[in-house]
Chains A and B, each alone.
Chain A
Amino acid sequence: MINNKFLTIIFIYLLCSISKAHAYLDPGTGSIILQAILGFIAAAAATVSIYWEKFKSIINKVLKRDTKDNKDITKD
Chain B
Amino acid sequence: MKRDILGRLPDFQLRGVNVRDMRSLAYGLGIALSLVLSYGAVPTGPAVGESVPDFRLQDQKGTYQTLRSILGPKGALLVFYRSADW
Q: A and B: real partners?
A: no
Partner-A contacts on B (CB < 8 A): none
